[in-house]
Amino acid sequence: LRQLEASQRTLLAEHEERIHLLEMERRRLHNDIQELRGNIRVFCRVRPLLPEERERQRGMPHLHFPPQDARSLVLTRPDDSQVGRERRAELRYDFSFDRVFPPGASQQEIFREIQLLVQSALDGYPVCIFAYGQTGSGKTFTMEGPAPPGTPESRGMIPRAVRHLFHGAQDLAGKGWQGENWGFQRGFMGKFGDSEGELQVPNLTWVPVESEEQVLELLVRAGSQRSVARTGLNERSSRSHSVFQLRIQGRHAARDLRCASSLTLVDLAGSERLEKSGSVGNRLRETQSINSSLSALGLVISALCNK
């Protein structure tokens, strides 16, 4: 019996070592694939028409989604020729993205595209995903889902990412990994600076969490404090940038290994054209500040792309 027990222990240790090596190889290959697909990716989502928009226009004939190419979006418009000038063919503008989602795309389809990036955060790589666009284009719905919360199918990217992370953590626990400090940050950004190599944002709340339910409760609480206002372009325009960050730290005690990363999901305030927003006074200065901050972000992304 002792010999059998010793043999089984040896066999078990060999299996555990093999599982560990396979897990580390999976992480390496997963990260290689993500880097090959691009460390910076841009997706385009076109939301459906709202009921009042359907009354004003007949569909979206100016938008075309090539069926054979999920990365392209074509915009067209008739050429407004003047009297006495020969009429030309309609103007055409071709755009390319890493992925284009037409109005019929579901929340699940969107998350399926970013799910592997969320897995990268669990594997120890920092990941940031943000929604950028004009006010009323559906950024908050995409990132957080409807308010108040609707069906499970309408859940946004943030609650879906949280669920994926906690389910993934349970799988890792079976491989010897234990979460040391699941952290949660959610705030509305003002001025910020860099301290000791780590971004510090004043007045953000840091809360340790142990379950998906705790995070979702904090999301509801934080969302109720977010600044929104009515403008000429949107009944409930987000007037602040919403930053959600989940910090992940894990430890494999038997192998003395540690893993640390962060998943940052951002719902940016929407850009607006001043002549269409009708903003005046404080709301005007607010719109100008939002547009300026989004322009600065564009410069940062361009610099990263150009290394």
Binding residues for ATP: 133-140
Question: Residue 246 and residue 249: Cα distance in Å, rounded?
Answer: 10
Answer whether 291's CB lies under 8 Å from 135's CB.
no
253 phi, psi to nearest 5 deg: -60, -40
Question: Residue 74 and residue 92: Cα distance in Å, rounded?
Answer: 7
Q: Which of 72, 88, 69 is nearest to 80 (CA)?
A: 88
Q: Which residues are annotated as a binding site?
A: 133-140
Question: Residue 229 and residue 69: Cα distance in Å, rounded?
Answer: 38
- Non-local CB neighbours of 254 within 8 Å, separated by 6+ positions: 176
Outline where DSSP puts E strands in 87-182.
Answer: 91-96, 99-101, 127-131, 177-179
Question: Residue 131 and residue 143: Cα distance in Å, rounded?
Answer: 7
Secondary structure element (H or E) that encloses residue 198, with its range:
strand 198-200
Sign (positive/negative) of CA torsion 275, 278, 280, 282? negative
Distance in Å from the first CA to the final CA of the chain = 63
Name residue, tokens 């940062």.
300
